[in-house]
């Protein structure tokens, strides 16, 4: 371990954000990259627990104590090798992962957790800076061809893993550029798109084929797909949003969060918002968005319904678009600021999260139920809301929501964003043509080996498990790749029940 | 003889693991004057040693007793006439008692054979005499197996040159008769045994108690039975199936001790048989083979070899020096000639290693020898009229004090020898001088022996593996191997330390590919012989070996020393290349590669094994001196055989062919990297090892900047760590030299197929079968495939490992994040449902089989409602917590456990390290922090009479699952004020717990300690903690015979605060095996109903308890689970004092983080009991007692066993011996205390006024050697009735006269003074707690006190406080681990003041070697008149200084007292001239202690604190 008593000497210190006044002027990263020395110092707090709960709680099983130790001892190369072993895109999780590992950090029992996410970021950025991240081209190819549908984190990590095992992976993406939700769902101020491009570039060199702008099932016949590929991985995400079917929903000015975010991201990627000349921006051809489809909060009173991360991202976008007022409402009660008894360590606790976007301003309200929208001239103008409370009944059953009598109130709004989650993937199109089975929630159903009801068709990521975290998507992609490898090359697996293969299974 | 009346191998019981401890002795007349009196005295000695023997369930059957005397010619003449045998003159006939079958046909067969063979050998058969016996007084079981005893007479052929030639003929006749009968088909073969056949000596022996010998053999009462010498032996077998033939003396010797290296010695003797030749025997030599008769005891085996050496022309002394050489390797005091003698003979054979006091005779001379470490007591008295008595104890014969000329003791490695022809005692130095000068050994050595270090290196082969990652993978290295094993070894030069227990699957259950080493567990010494401290007692340890082809051991030629001397058997690359290229004096080396072609798969594996054996045999034929077994060059096409398998296969093959001794096996392998691997390779026959890939790994780690040292230093460190680690593994079995360890196979296999073991690891125990050759081959190939994948790319990093630290993709652990979190949640929220989830994670191992019990399930039969089952309250009384010392865990944690256990009526354990007396007082809320179990461990820290009196149970810790056979060390910086106080030492002083208890070197010693403790507190039960390994059952039987009330069988997986990682993982076996073996053995012995059985070692759930009960345990211990309920999250940082949750730390800041509560533990135990009750209900069982040993309720879950281990066989574990109904199956009757007639009862009565009114008492009584542990019970009474330390000095004074027994003045309380005029035995003043002991020779005697021994070995062990004045010399280990005693003595043996932590000692005379080893506190003043002390002192931890003015007061005061109490003339002379004499004292002061004293002084001057002292 870095320093056996490091955790007693050094306090937890997270990285800094740029000043609010500065950062809301642009779409660039709000978080400043922490100096390497600082990260090394923070790594010394890691106790190298023999039962590393962080590593356990991490869906991809990052070897956290090991790379903390390497980093502390200045062995960045070794730290990178191990980080790279479990995570295909640490530069992404290092920026946007909610770091469930940190909630399971043993130090968190009676002290502040280690800054694991930022340590991860430090390692991978060091590796990029020092040219340690290089395309590694497999020496021997298996000759097997796999199509990966969708280029979000699940599809990408699946393709990367398959490629490492010597298979030929082709990634199909219906959007202009690969990245899926990473590129189009997450604002630049949290994840600049050149970070994604940098990684895609390496994968292309390693031999992964990216076919963008192709909507499989529409632009590419399903039959052809099934014929040309030895296996298929469906990783198209879970994009059908939950809706709020209340009175006034059809008024203009009410949008789904994802529509708002995608548009904002496309605009940011294009020339519309060139901010500072010195920074290289991803050079997507300017997205021509028709003015009537533009969702812009400038000068508007915006209400974001939904208190989650997506909602918070919308808040951040709204700040940058100069909304005149921003209100975010959430139906659930305000979570406690620290871990409650309902979520004992090492569980991922429900606690109040204040994102960088929240720091930038706006109001947040909890226990608010939207009853209806009131409009004028077809445009939304107000929300009618009511305060609710959650009453716990006897036994272990979930608390029941009750409206608080007489607590009705109204909120003014020119723009309403619905960020109340996603229900399931799009059932029409490819999935429909493949006649796949779905689970109760409408997600693609698979067996334990990620295979769908159709032979040689696999699925991973949100499409399979429902809306989740990026790190889960990576884990899904990797595990799915492992299963595909086992499916395609059964003879290669360990011969005496060892179950070990040369593909990392975590 | 293994009579069919005694149980043979069954279930887990295997008779080959019987041990014995004993009493041994002899009497003789120096002038060779024969008399009947000598025989009578010999028998008397035997009778006085009877407390050192034992009895089993049948109290009248002893374990064996006998005598060996000169041929009583007059008597035999008389008797032969009666039998119509005409006897020639003495020396012209041979005779001996023969045990014959009782069946007439078989008997006649045997008798006729004698006649036939005697004739064939040209000797005259004279006849038989039926030996009268009276079996009325002997035990039932002895009578049942009693043979027909007859005496054979054979006359000498006149043509034979001399009596020695006749002796050889008799030997040949005996061997042939034995061989013939062994290969015959007679039914009662096992009855047959020839006690002796000689023209010089005759033995009477049998399955008797010493007191029965005279009655059984009426011959012995005949006055015409006369001899000038009489050798006697009384046996204490751990088991109660001793047999007639194993009674001693054997033909030439009687042995008290244990040969630890027996398997190796037997194999090596066998390996040498092909080369045996002797002019004296000529072609007859073939008739003598096999030299060692299989199935005998260790003592019988050494007798077999001793006999061969003597009859082929070597003298008694010479032969003994070959078999049991003293520790000569590092001894500065030996002459060059003697060292050369030993070195020369080291080329003949390895030492027979282990504790031993051996008395031997050839009928003319008689002598005795002690092992190199002096691990058995042997005292002698020589009288002025030429009579000598030697025995394990002094006082076995009444000898008038004024007749005593010398009172001596046998010293480590020394010979005591009486030449009756020249009528004198020949001193050790004279014997050895004569023998060492008889040939120019030094010259022979220097001209023939090749010193590896002095060989010039050839071209060093520096080729490195092209791709180290693939190489590492192919040999199964994980990241952990690099980070947690190799790196710390290279950095620190020590084996890495870890903590907590092992919770990973056994190798045969693991889903990960396992290297073969992982299937083997290290064995260790417990009870029947002591482990050695390889650090503090390194003078007896040696790794030096002499490798290369051996010669005929019956000859003496200069060429015998043509061997390669290797000081360090772990070869550097340079050293290895020297052997590869060797050509000096005809040496040559042959390399055999252990590869097979990757495409050949498993068949290739098998063929390669056959090939290498064949090649090895061929190499010997071609006169190669060294075979190099190499796996260098492994690549994608070549797979290497597991090196351990290759080595052992060749070794066993060559042993079977009797040619192993003609070649050395040198291993060049990528495989071995940790200490355990090397130990296994040596243990299965490797001579030297070059671990080239481990070396390369170190170089690689340096390149990676993982190790910040230069390569030379790092390699040096790594090598040192290996050497020290190997010495540690040797020493935990009580073995001191690698020469003896090599091939000794001190391992047990777990989960390997028996056929596989029998073929390749012949003689190793593997009790449950398991993985066979095919499985091992598959695992080897699997590793290779991972390293060299056929497609895709290989990962640039190694596998996680996950053995020492949990990893998602690593080895499975039962304690994993989920189970830990579940248990904590359940116990904190008192949530039984959550507990059941936890229990299910542990109990249902279908996904990850981990433990033996994980493969079990209980049958569902006749369930009953749960309310019919015994209450949880009742059940919880059977729960105990494991011994965790306050020191290893924090104060908060320790007290929380005690409170919780007291609340539920269970028992908590102090662990080693005492207990704060404040905790004996109940808290206002009714809680009690007092631990019910008080542990007594080897360091004896805080073991005061008050501590013992406050116990409900006193537990003797023999071994601990995480590091059986090893000691411990609490570094000074962890010894805080409070820890120091409870341990009665000084803060900051390092505290060392030695590997053995220095008062338990044998089973009879343990019985003595149990007796001591029962005396100290007759109300407490005494328990003995053992660790599971093969043979633990027989040890437990011995312990039960030693009157322990409870025996704890710990699993090898149990936890620890700090142990070497290899010990946590590889030492000790699962409790399921140990418990089951113990239960079965005790049943077979009918001892089960006397003792309770407890088991522990990773107990977690009610199901675990259910299995434990069904396998035979009445009580259950918990440890890790308790820590987890208190907040432990398995950081495994205990050894770093860095526990972030405050459980296992002494750090003030971290202790504040402790959040554990007694309620959590109480909740946990309720859950466990509840789960257990549910299982009991499902089995229809109402009470635990009903459940004990009901193995028929257990079933095997065959379907979850992995493919490789399908051959597993659990029938041994589940075996239920078929026994009569009256044999108790759980503890019903308990033990008899054996305290009936102790002297203390008398003393206590006499002290009634003191108890009533605190008035002084004066007592004066006679004392005998059978009065043992005098003073302990009295001290307990004082403590209980008057309070701890309340009585004033000399309130009770007892004056004794005579020879006191063992443990005189043990635990003597403050206020009691013991004065002894006479002598005493071992363990005087152990744990003395404030009393005063004065001992001086009988006033009538007139020998010089400072030259004669007055008290025995291991005296004042663990002394707490008090004073001692000893006017005479003490034996080995005076004041071992003294905490605070002030003592004066006039001379001490070896290892004086070892591990001392406080107090003051004045030695007014000579000391032995290794004085002050491991001494960390206190001061010793040695009167070094002739300036020889410095070399005898172990200066690793102490400084020698001149005595300063400030010391004068202490010395003067103590010597003044010494004179006042004992009238020591020496003390008088010194104090009369104190100023001058003071200069002759040397002050011995520990470096650390001195620094602390100085710091205290400074603080005192600054007025900061009060002074404290030991």
| Per-position pLDDT tens, chain A of length 506 | 668 889 999 999 999 999 999 999 999 999 999 999 999 999 999 999 999 999 999 999 999 999 999 999 999 999 999 999 999 999 999 999 999 999 999 999 999 999 999 999 999 999 999 999 999 998 888 899 999 999 999 999 999 999 998 999 999 999 999 999 999 999 999 999 999 999 999 999 999 999 999 999 999 999 999 999 999 999 999 989 999 999 999 999 999 999 999 999 988 887 444 443 344 344 444 456 777 888 999 999 999 999 999 999 999 999 999 999 999 999 999 999 988 888 999 999 999 999 999 999 999 999 999 999 999 999 999 999 999 999 887 766 788 999 999 999 999 999 999 999 999 999 988 999 999 999 999 999 999 999 999 999 999 999 999 999 999 999 999 999 999 999 998 866 543 333 344 445 54
Residue A47 has its nearest CB partner, among B825, B1127, B1140, at: B1140
Please identify every stretch of chain B with a pLDDT value under 50, giving residue numbers as ranges: 1-5, 1504-1510
List, by residue number, the catalytic residues of B: 22
What CA–CA distance (Å, rounded) separates B8 from B16?
A: 10
Asked if B1400 and B1359 touch (Cβ cutoff 8 Å), the reply is no
* φ and ψ at residue B653, rounded to 5 degrees: -60, -45
Q: How many CA atoms lie within 13 A of B1374 on its CB side?
A: 31
The per-residue b/e assignment along B1163-1182, b for 16 or more CB within 10 angstroms, e otherwise, is bbbbbbbbbbbbbbbbbebe
- Asked if the Cβ–Cβ distance from A502 to B789 is below 8 Å, we say yes
Nearest to B519 by CA among B655, B695, B694, B642: B642
* Chain A touched by B797 (CB under 8 Å): yes
What CA–CA distance (Å, rounded) separates B1463 from B1467?
A: 8
- Residue A54's closest chain B neighbor by CA? B817
What CA–CA distance (Å, rounded) separates B1343 from A396?
A: 88
Q: What pLDDT score does A396 carry?
A: 65
* φ and ψ at residue A46, rounded to 5 degrees: -65, 130
Nearest to A162 by CA among A230, A70, A217, A216: A230
DSSP code per residue over B58-121: STT--S-EEEEEE--HHHHHHHHHHTT----STTSEEEEEEEE-SSHHHHHHHHHHHHHHHHHT
Torsion of CA A125, A131, A133, A138, to 10 degrees: 180
Nearest to A462 by CA among A235, A185, A308, A242: A235
How many whole angstroms from its chain centre is CA B808? Answer: 40
Tens of pLDDT along B121-150? 999 999 999 999 999 989 888 898 899 999
What CA–CA distance (Å, rounded) separates B1052 from B1073?
A: 10
Structure token pair of residue B1282: 């008057």
Asked if B1115 and B907 touch (Cβ cutoff 8 Å), the reply is no
In terms of Cβ atoms closer than 10 Å to its own Cβ (0-12, 13-18, 19+), residue A3 is: middle
For residue B249, say if its preceding peptide bond is cis, omega within 30 degrees of 0.
Answer: yes
Question: In the structure, how many helices (H) and strands (E) does chain B have?
Answer: 48, 53
Asked if B1069 and B1030 touch (Cβ cutoff 8 Å), the reply is yes
User: What's the gap in Å between the CA of B711 and the closest CA on chain A?
Assistant: 19
DSSP reduced 3-state for B414: coil
Strands B1021-1027 and B1046-1050: parallel
Q: In angstroms, how far apart are the furthest CA atoms of chain B?
A: 97
Nearest to B1205 by CA among B245, B717, B609, B509: B509
For residue A346, say if its preceding peptide bond is cis, omega within 30 degrees of 0.
Answer: yes
Tens of pLDDT along B1083-1103? 998 899 999 999 999 999 999
Residue A506 has its nearest CB partner, among B809, B821, B1136, at: B809
What CA–CA distance (Å, rounded) separates B878 from B876?
A: 5
Structure token pair of residue A70: 């390497």
For residue B606, say if its preceding peptide bond is cis, omega within 30 degrees of 0.
Answer: no
Chain B residues within an 8 Å CB radius of A497: 511, 1202-1204
Rounded to the nearest 5 percent, the helix, strand and coil shares of chain B are 40, 20, 45
What CA–CA distance (Å, rounded) separates B17 from B1028?
A: 13
- Residue B783's closest chain A neighbor by CA? A494
Strands B253-257 and B356-361: antiparallel
What CA–CA distance (Å, rounded) separates B448 from B562?
A: 5
User: What's the gap in Å between the CA of B1441 and the closest CA on chain A?
Assistant: 39
- Asked if the Cβ–Cβ distance from A81 to B796 is below 8 Å, we say yes
Task: Go through chain B and tell me how many residues it has.
Answer: 1510
Q: What pLDDT score does A395 carry?
A: 66
Task: Go through chain A and tell me how many residues it has.
Answer: 506
For B:1419-1438, CB contacts with A below 8 A are: none
**Bridge partners (DSSP) listed for residue A145:** A168
Residue B706 has its nearest CB partner, among A56, A75, A345, at: A75
Radius of gyration of chain B (CA): 32
Q: What pLDDT score does B794 carry?
A: 76
What CA–CA distance (Å, rounded) separates B1324 from B1328?
A: 9
Sheet strand arrangement including B1312-1320: B1257-1263, B1292-1300, B1312-1320, B1329-1336, B1361-1366, B1381-1385, B1397-1403, B1417-1423, B1481-1486, B1438-1442
* Chain A touched by B834 (CB under 8 Å): no
Chain A residues within an 8 Å CB radius of B1149: 8
In terms of Cβ atoms closer than 10 Å to its own Cβ (0-12, 13-18, 19+), residue A21 is: exposed
User: B1156 CB contacts (<8 Å, ≥6 apart)?
Assistant: B892, B893, B896, B1125, B1126, B1127, B1143
Chain A residues within an 8 Å CB radius of B791: 140-142, 165-166, 489, 492
- Asked if the Cβ–Cβ distance from B808 to A489 is below 8 Å, we say no
Nearest to A407 by CA among A365, A374, A373, A358: A365
DSSP reduced 3-state for B688: strand
Structure token pair of residue A311: 């909602």
Chain A residues within an 8 Å CB radius of B1153: 110
Q: What pLDDT score does B1509 carry?
A: 38
Residue B1140 has its nearest CB partner, among A106, A497, A503, at: A106
User: What's the gap in Å between the CA of A204 and the closest CA on chain B?
Assistant: 17
The Cβ of residue B135 has, within 10 Å, a number of other Cβ atoms equal to 15
Residue listed under structure tokens 């740029």: A18
Torsion of CA B307, B309, B314, B317, to 10 degrees: -70
What CA–CA distance (Å, rounded) separates B410 from B380?
A: 8
Structure token pair of residue B307: 């006999």
Cβ pairs bridging A and B (under 8 Å)? 161
Strands B497-498 and B1059-1060: antiparallel
Q: Is the dihedral of CA B161, B166, B169, B173 positive or negative?
A: positive
What CA–CA distance (Å, rounded) separates B252 from B368?
A: 11
- Asked if the Cβ–Cβ distance from B706 to A139 is below 8 Å, we say no
Q: How many CA atoms lie within 13 A of B1035 on its CB side?
A: 25
Residue listed under structure tokens 């039987």: B1037
Strands A209-212 and A168-173: parallel
**Bridge partners (DSSP) listed for residue B149:** B99
Residue A492 has its nearest CB partner, among B790, B1129, B1155, at: B790
């Amino acid at each position: 371990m870095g320093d056996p008593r490091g955790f007693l000497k050094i306090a937890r210190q997270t990285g800094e954000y740029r000043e609010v006044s500065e950062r809301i002027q642009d779409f660039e990263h709000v978080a400043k990259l922490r100096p390497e020395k600082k990260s090394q110092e923070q790594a010394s707090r890691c106790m190298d627990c023999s039962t590393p709960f962080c590593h356990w709680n991490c869906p991809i099983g990052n070897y956290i104590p090991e790379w903390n130790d390497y980093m502390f001892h200045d062995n960045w190369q070794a730290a990178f090798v191990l980080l790279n072993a479990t995570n295909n895109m640490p530069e992404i999780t290092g920026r946007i992962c909610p770091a469930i590992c940190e909630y399971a950090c043993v130090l968190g029992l009676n002290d502040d957790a280690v800054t694991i996410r930022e340590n991860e970021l430090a390692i991978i950025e060091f590796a990029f800076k020092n040219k340690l991240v290089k395309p590694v081209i497999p020496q021997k190819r298996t000759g097997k061809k796999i199509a990966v549908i969708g280029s979000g984190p699940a599809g990408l990590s699946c393709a990367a893993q398959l490629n490492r095992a010597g298979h030929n992976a082709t990634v199909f993406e219906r959007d202009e550029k690969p990245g899926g939700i990473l590129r189009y769902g997450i604002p630049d101020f949290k994840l600049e798109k050149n970070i994604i491009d940098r990684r895609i570039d390496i994968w292309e060199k390693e031999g992964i084929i990216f076919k963008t702008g192709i909507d499989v099932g529409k632009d590419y016949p399903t039959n052809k797909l099934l014929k040309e590929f030895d296996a298929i991985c469906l990783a198209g995400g879970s994009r059908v949003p939950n809706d709020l079917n209340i009175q006034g929903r059809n008024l203009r000015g009410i949008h789904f969060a994802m529509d708002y975010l995608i548009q904002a991201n496309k605009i940011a990627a294009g020339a519309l918002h060139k901010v500072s000349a010195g920074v290289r921006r991803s050079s997507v051809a300017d997205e021509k968005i028709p003015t009537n489809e533009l969702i812009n909060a400038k000068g508007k009173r915006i209400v974001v319904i939904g208190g989650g991360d997506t909602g918070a991202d919308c808040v951040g976008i709204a700040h940058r678009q100069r909304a005149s007022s921003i209100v975010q409402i959430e139906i659930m009660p305000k979570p406690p600021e620290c871990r409650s008894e309902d979520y004992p360590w090492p569980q991922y606790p429900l606690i109040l999260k204040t994102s960088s976007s929240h720091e930038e301003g706006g109001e947040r309200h909890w226990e608010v139920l939207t009853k209806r929208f009131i409009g004028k001239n077809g445009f939304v103008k107000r929300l009618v809301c009511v305060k609710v409370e959650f009453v716990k009944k006897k036994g272990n059953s979930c608390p029941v929501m009750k409206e608080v009598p007489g607590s009705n109130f109204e909120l003014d709004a020119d723009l309403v964003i619905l960020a109340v989650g996603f229900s399931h993937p799009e059932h029409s199109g490819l999935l429909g043509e493949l006649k796949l089975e779905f689970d109760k929630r409408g997600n693609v159903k698979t067996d334990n080996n990620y295979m769908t009801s159709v032979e040689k068709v696999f699925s991973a990521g949100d499409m399979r498990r429902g809306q989740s975290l990026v790190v889960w998507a990576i884990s899904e992609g990797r595990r799915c790749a492992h299963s595909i490898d086992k499916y395609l090359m059964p003879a290669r697996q360990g011969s005496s029940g060892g179950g070990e293969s040369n593909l990392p299974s975590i | 003889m293994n009579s069919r009346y005694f149980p043979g191998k069954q279930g887990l019981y295997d008779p080959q693991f019987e041990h014995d401890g004993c009493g041994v002795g002899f009497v003789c007349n120096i002038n060779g004057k024969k008399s009947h009196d000598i025989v009578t005295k010999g028998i008397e000695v035997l009778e006085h040693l009877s407390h050192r023997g034992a009895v089993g369930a049948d109290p009248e059957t002893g374990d064996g007793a006998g005598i060996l005397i000169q041929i009583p010619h007059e008597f035999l003449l008389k008797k032969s006439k009666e039998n119509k045998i005409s006897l020639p003159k003495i020396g012209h006939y041979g005779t001996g008692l023969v045990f014959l079958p009782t069946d007439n046909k078989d008997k006649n067969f045997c008798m006729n054979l004698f006649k036939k063979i005697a004739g064939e050998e040209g000797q005259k058969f004279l006849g038989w005499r039926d030996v009268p016996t009276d079996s009325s007084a002997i035990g039932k079981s002895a009578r049942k197996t009693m043979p027909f005893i007859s005496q054979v007479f054979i006359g000498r052929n006149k043509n034979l040159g001399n009596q020695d030639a006749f002796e050889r003929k008799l030997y040949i006749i005996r061997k042939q008769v034995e061989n013939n009968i062994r290969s015959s088909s007679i039914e009662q073969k096992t009855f047959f045994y020839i006690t002796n056949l000689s023209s010089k000596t005759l033995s009477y022996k049998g399955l008797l108690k010493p007191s029965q010998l005279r009655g059984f053999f009426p011959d012995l009462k005949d006055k015409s039975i006369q001899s000038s010498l009489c050798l006697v032996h009384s046996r204490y077998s751990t088991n109660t199936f001793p047999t007639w033939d194993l009674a001693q003396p054997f033909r030439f010797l009687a042995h008290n001790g244990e040969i630890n290296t027996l398997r190796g010695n037997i194999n090596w003797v066998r390996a040498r048989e092909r080369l045996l030749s002797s002019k004296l025997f000529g072609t007859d030599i073939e008739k003598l083979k096999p030299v060692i008769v299989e199935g005998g005891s260790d003592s019988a085996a050494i007798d077999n070899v001793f006999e061969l050496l003597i009859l082929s022309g070597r003298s008694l002394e010479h032969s003994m020096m070959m078999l049991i050489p003293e520790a000569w390797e590092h001894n500065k005091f030996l002459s060059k000639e003697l060292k050369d003698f030993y070195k020369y003979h080291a080329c003949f054979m390895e030492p027979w290693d282990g504790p031993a006091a051996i008395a031997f005779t050839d009928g003319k001379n008689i002598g005795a020898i002690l092992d190199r470490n002096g691990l058995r007591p042997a005292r002698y008295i020589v009288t002025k009229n030429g009579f000598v008595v030697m025995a394990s104890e002094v006082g076995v014969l009444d000898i008038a004090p004024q007749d005593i000329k010398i009172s001596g003791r046998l010293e480590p490695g020394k010979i005591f020898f009486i030449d009756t022809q020249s009528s004198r005692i020949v001193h050790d130095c004279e014997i050895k001088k004569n023998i060492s000068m008889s040939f120019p050994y030094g010259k022979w050595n220097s001209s023939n022996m090749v010193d590896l270090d002095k060989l010039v290196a050839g071209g060093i082969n520096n080729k490195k593996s092209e791709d180290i990652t693939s190489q590492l993978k192919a040999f199964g290295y994980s990241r952990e191997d690099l980070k947690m094993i190799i790196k710390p070894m290279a950095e620190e030069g020590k084996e890495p330390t870890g903590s907590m227990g092992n919770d990973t699957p056994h190798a045969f259950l693991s889903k990960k590919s396992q290297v073969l080493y992982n299937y083997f567990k290290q064995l260790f010494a417990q009870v029947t012989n002591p482990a050695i401290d390889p650090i503090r007692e390194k003078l007896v340890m040696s790794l030096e070996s002499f490798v290369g082809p051996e010669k005929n051991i019956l000859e003496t030629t200069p060429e015998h020393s043509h061997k390669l001397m290797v000081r360090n058997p772990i070869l550097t690359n340079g050293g290895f290349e020297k052997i590869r290229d060797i050509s000096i004096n005809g040496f040559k080396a042959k390399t055999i590669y252990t590869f097979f072609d990757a495409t050949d798969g498993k068949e290739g594996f098998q063929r390669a094994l056959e090939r290498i054996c064949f090649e090895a045999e061929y190499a010997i034929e071609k006169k190669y001196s060294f075979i190099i077994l190499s796996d260098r060059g492994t690549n994608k096409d070549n797979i290497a055989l597991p090196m351990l398998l290759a080595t052992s296969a060749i070794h066993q093959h060559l042993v079977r062919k009797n040619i192993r001794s003609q070649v050395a096996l040198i291993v060049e392998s990528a495989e071995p990297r940790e200490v355990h691997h090397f130990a296994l390779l040596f243990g299965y026959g490797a001579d030297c090892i070059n671990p080239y890939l481990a070396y390369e790994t170190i170089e690689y780690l340096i390149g990676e900047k993982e190790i910040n040292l230069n390569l030379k230093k790092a390699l040096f460190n790594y090598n040192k760590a290996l050497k020290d680690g190997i010495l540690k593994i040797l020493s935990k079995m009580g073995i001191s030299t690698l020469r003896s360890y090599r091939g000794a196979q001190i391992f047990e296999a777990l989960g390997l197929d028996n056929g596989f073991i029998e073929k390749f690891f012949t003689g190793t125990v593997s009790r449950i079968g398991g993985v066979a050759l095919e499985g091992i081959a598959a695992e080897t190939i699997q590793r290779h495939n991972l390293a060299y994948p056929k497609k895709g790319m290989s990962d640039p990093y190694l596998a996680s490992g996950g053995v020492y630290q949990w990893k998602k993709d690593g080895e499975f652990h039962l304690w994993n994040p989920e189970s830990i979190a579940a248990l904590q949640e359940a116990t904190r929220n008192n949530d039984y449902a959550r507990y059941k989830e936890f229990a299910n994670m542990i109990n249902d191992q279908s996904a990850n089989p981990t433990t033996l019990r994980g493969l079990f399930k209980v049958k569902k039969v006749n369930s009953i409602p749960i309310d019919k089952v015994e209450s949880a309250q009742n059940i919880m009384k059977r729960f105990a917590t494991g011994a965790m010392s306050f020191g290893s865990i924090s104060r908060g944690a320790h007290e929380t456990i005690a409170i919780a256990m007291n609340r539920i009526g269970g028992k908590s354990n102090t662990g080693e390290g005492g207990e704060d007396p404040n905790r004996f007082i109940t808290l206002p809320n009714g809680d009690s922090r007092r631990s019910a179990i008080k542990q007594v461990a080897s360091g004896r820290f805080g073991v005061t009479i008050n501590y013992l009196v406050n116990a409900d149970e006193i537990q003797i810790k023999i071994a601990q699952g995480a590091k059986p056979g090893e000691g411990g060390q609490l570094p000074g910086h962890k010894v805080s004020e409070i820890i120091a106080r409870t341990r009665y030492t000084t803060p900051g002083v390092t505290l060392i717990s030695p590997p053995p208890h220095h008062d338990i070197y044998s089973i009879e010693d343990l019985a003595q300690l149990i007796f001591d403790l029962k005396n100290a507190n007759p109300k407490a039960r005494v328990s003995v903690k053992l660790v599971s390994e093969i043979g633990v059952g027989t040890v437990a039987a011995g312990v039960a015979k030693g009157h322990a009330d409870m025996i704890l069988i710990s699993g090898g997986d149990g936890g620890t605060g700090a142990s070497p990682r290899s010990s946590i993982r590889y030492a000790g076996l699962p409790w399921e095996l140990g418990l089951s073996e113990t239960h079965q053995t005790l049943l077979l012995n009918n001892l089960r109903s006397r003792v309770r059985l407890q088991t522990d070692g990773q107990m977690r759930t009610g199901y675990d308890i259910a299995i434990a009960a069904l396998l035979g345990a009445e009580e259950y211990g918990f440890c890790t689970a308790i820590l987890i309920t208190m907040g432990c999250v398995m950081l495994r940082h205990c050894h770093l004092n860095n526990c972030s949750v405050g459980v296992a730390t002494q750090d003030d800041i971290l202790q504040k983080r402790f959040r554990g509560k007694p309620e959590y533990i109480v909740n946990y135990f309720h859950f466990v009991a509840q789960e257990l009750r549910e299982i009991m209900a499902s089995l229809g069982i109402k009470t635990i007692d009903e459940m004990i040993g009901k193995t028929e309720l257990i079933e095997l879950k065959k379907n979850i066993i992995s493919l490789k281990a399908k051959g597993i066989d659990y029938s041994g574990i589940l075996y239920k011996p078929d026994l009569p109904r009256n044999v108790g199956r759980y503890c019903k009757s308990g033990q008899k205390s054996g305290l009936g007639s102790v002297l203390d009862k008398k003393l206590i009565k006499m002290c009634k006024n003191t108890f009533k009114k605190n008035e002084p008492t004066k007592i004066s009584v006679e004392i005998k050697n059978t009065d043992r542990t005098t003073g302990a019970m009295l001290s307990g009474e004082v403590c209980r009735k008057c309070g701890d330390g309340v009585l004033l000095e000399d309130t009770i004074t007892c004056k004794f006269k005579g020879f006191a027994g063992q443990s005189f003045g043990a635990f003597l309380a403050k206020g009691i003074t013991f004065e002894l005029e006479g002598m005493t035995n071992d363990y005087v003043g152990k744990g003395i707690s404030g009393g005063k002991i004065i001992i001086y020779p009988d006033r009538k005697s007139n020998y010089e006190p400072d030259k004669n021994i007055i008290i025995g070995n291991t005296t004042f062990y663990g002394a707490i406080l008090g004073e001692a004045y000893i006017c005479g010399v003490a034996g080995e280990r005076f004041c071992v681990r003294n905490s605070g005693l002030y003592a004066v003595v006039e001379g001490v043996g070896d290892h004086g003041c070892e591990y001392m932590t406080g107090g003051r000692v004045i030695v007014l005379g000579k000391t032995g070697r290794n004085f002050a080893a491991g001494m960390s506190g206190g001061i010793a003043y040695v009167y070094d008149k002739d300036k020889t002390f410095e070399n005898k002192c172990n200066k690793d931890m102490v400084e020698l200084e001149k005595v300063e003015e400030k010391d004068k007061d202490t010395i003067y005061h103590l010597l003044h007292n010494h004179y006042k109490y004992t009238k020591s003339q020496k003390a008088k002379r010194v104090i009369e001239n104190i100023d001058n004499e003071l200069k002759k004292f040397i002050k011995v002061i520990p470096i650390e202690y001195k620094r602390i004293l100085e710091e205290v002084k400074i603080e005192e001057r600054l007025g900061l604190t009060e002074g404290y002292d030991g």
